Structure 1
Amino acid sequence: MPSSALSARGGRLAALAVGLCWLAVLFDGLDMFVYGSVLPHMLAEKSLGITPDRAGDLGSYATFGMLVGALTAGTVADRVGRKKLMVACVTLFSLASGLCALSGSVEVFGLGRTLAGIGLGGLLPTAISMVSDYAPRTRAALTIGLLMTAHHAGGILSAYVALWVVEPFGWRAAFWVCVAPLLFVPVLAKFLPESLGFLVAKGRVEEATALAGRFAVELPAAPDRRTPADRRDALADLFRGGEWTRTLLYWLASFGGLLLVYGVATWLPTLMRSEGYELGSALTFVVVFNLGGIVGMLVAGRAADRFGAPRISSLWFALTAAGVFLLSVHMPLGVTFVVVFLTGVFLNSAQTMVYATVSLRSTPDNRATAVGWTSGMGRFGAVFGPWLGGQLLASGNGDWGFTAFAIAGLSSMVLIGVAALRGARQAPRAGTTQELLTTH
Structure 2
Amino acid sequence: MAVLVLGLCWLAVLFDGLDMFIYGSVLPHMLAEKSLGITPDRAGDLGSYATFGMLIGALTAGTIADRVGRKKLMVACVTLFSLASALCAVSGSVAAFGLGRTLAGVGLGGLLPTAISMVSDYAPRGRAALTIGMLMTAHHAGGILSAYVALWIVEPLGWRAAFWVCVVPLLFVPALAKFLPESLSFLVAKGRTEEARVLAGRFGTELPAAAENAAGKVTGKKAAGERWNALVGLFRGGEWAQTLLYWLASFGGLLLVYGVATWLPTLMRGEGYELGSALTFVVLFNLGGIVGMLLAGRAADRFGAPRISSVWFALTAVGVFLLSVHMPLAVTFTVVFLTGVFLNSAQVMIYATVSIRSTPENRATAVGWTSGMGRFGAVFGPWLGGQLLAAGNGDWGFTAFALAGLSSMVFIGIAALRGSKRAAPGSDTPQGLLTAH
Regarding TM over 0.5, the answer is: yes
Once the two structures are superposed, residues 265-324 of structure 1 have per-residue CA deviations (whole angstroms, 9 ceiling, x without a partner) of 111111111111111111111111011111111112433455555554333222111111
Q: Contact 1:99 / 1:112 at 8 angstroms: preserved in 2?
A: yes
Q: 2:136 corresponds to which residue?
A: 148
Q: Contact 1:363 / 1:428 at 8 angstroms: preserved in 2?
A: no
Give 2:32's aligned amino acid: A
Q: 2:55 corresponds to which residue?
A: 67
Q: Contact 1:361 / 1:423 at 8 angstroms: preserved in 2?
A: no
Q: Contact 1:54 / 1:390 at 8 angstroms: preserved in 2?
A: yes
After superposing the two structures, state which structure 1 stretch, 375-384 or 310-319, moved more: 310-319
Q: 2:287 corresponds to which residue?
A: 291
After superposing the two structures, state which structure 1 stretch, 280-289 or 203-212, moved more: 203-212
Q: 2:84 corresponds to which residue?
A: 96
Aligned Cα root-mean-square deviation (Å)? 3.1
Q: Contact 1:36 / 1:267 at 8 angstroms: preserved in 2?
A: yes
CA 1:69–1:247 in structure 2 vs 1: closer, same or farther (change >3 Å)? closer
Q: 2: CA distance between counterparts of 1:417 and 1:110?
A: 37
Measure how far apart 1:196 and its partner are. 3.0
1:173-212 map, 5 Å: 173-212=161-200
Q: 1:326 corresponds to which residue?
A: 322
Q: 1:23 corresponds to which residue?
A: 11
1:333-352 map, 5 Å: 333-352=329-348
User: Does 1:427 find its partner at 2:423?
Assistant: yes
Measure how far apart 1:396 and its partner are. 1.5
User: Does 1:80 find its partner at 2:76?
Assistant: no
Q: 1:115 corresponds to which residue?
A: 103
CA 1:132–1:46 in structure 2 vs 1: closer, same or farther (change >3 Å)? same
**Aligned partner of residue 396 in structure 1, secondary structure:** coil
Q: Contact 1:360 / 1:426 at 8 angstroms: preserved in 2?
A: no
Structure 1: segments with no counterpart, 5+ residues = 1-10
Q: Contact 2:129 / 2:349 at 8 angstroms: preserved in 1?
A: no
Q: 2:397 corresponds to which residue?
A: 401
Q: 2: CA distance between counterparts of 1:31 and 1:92?
A: 11
Which TM-score applies when normalising by structure 2? 0.86
Q: Contact 2:285 / 2:340 at 8 angstroms: preserved in 1?
A: yes
Q: 2: CA distance between counterparts of 1:19 and 1:360?
A: 21
**Aligned partner of residue 203 in structure 1, secondary structure:** coil
Q: 2: CA distance between counterparts of 1:360 and 1:126?
A: 14
Q: 2: CA distance between counterparts of 1:358 and 1:148?
A: 15
Match of 2:120 among 107, 127, 132: 132
Q: Contact 2:262 / 2:382 at 8 angstroms: preserved in 1?
A: yes
Structure 2: segments with no counterpart, 5+ residues = 213-218
User: Does 1:161 find its partner at 2:149?
Assistant: yes
Once the two structures are superposed, residues 117-173 of structure 1 have per-residue CA deviations (whole angstroms, 9 ceiling, x without a partner) of 111111122222332344455755443321111111111111111111001101000
Percent identity over the alignment is 84
Which TM-score applies when normalising by structure 1? 0.85
CA 1:17–1:381 in structure 2 vs 1: closer, same or farther (change >3 Å)? same
Measure how far apart 1:376 and its partner are. 3.2
Once the two structures are superposed, residues 225-264 of structure 1 have per-residue CA deviations (whole angstroms, 9 ceiling, x without a partner) of 68468557534436x5xx7666555433322111101110
Q: Contact 1:61 / 1:110 at 8 angstroms: preserved in 2?
A: yes
Measure how far apart 1:184 and its partner are. 1.1
CA 1:425–1:362 in structure 2 vs 1: closer, same or farther (change >3 Å)? farther
Give 2:34's aligned amino acid: K
Q: 1: CA distance between counterparts of 2:308 and 2:118?
A: 28
CA 1:127–1:223 in structure 2 vs 1: closer, same or farther (change >3 Å)? farther
CA 1:91–1:292 in structure 2 vs 1: closer, same or farther (change >3 Å)? same
Q: 2: CA distance between counterparts of 1:330 and 1:55?
A: 25
Aligned residues, how many?
420
After superposing the two structures, state which structure 1 stretch, 396-405 or 250-259, moved more: 250-259
Measure how far apart 1:217 and its partner are. 4.0
